[in-house]
Amino acid sequence: MSEVPDRVKRIIASYLDLDEAALQPGTSFAEDLNMDSLSVMELIIALEEEFSVEFDQESVSSVATVGDAIKAVEAALP
């Protein structure tokens, strides 16, 4: 599972056109990256497609940071 955080960061960095090094587990999508809820939802969809998973509503609503996104992907993987 150690590759999951790297892949999640790579997807987020690509989506936002940022350097992966700028993304830490505590990086907030809203506060640090100025993402609105629609942008976060689009990112979640990109993560679901990349990992071939589907997040439940509870997971989606709890994704506020890079670390949350990593945990949601790990929890959704078989």
Point out the residues that are catalytic.
36
Is the C-alpha dihedral spanning 36, 54, 62, 31 positive or negative?
Answer: negative
Q: What is the rounded distance in angstroms from the CA atom of residue 9 to the CA atom of residue 37?
A: 19
Q: What is the rounded distance in angstroms from the CA atom of residue 42 to the CA atom of residue 52?
A: 15
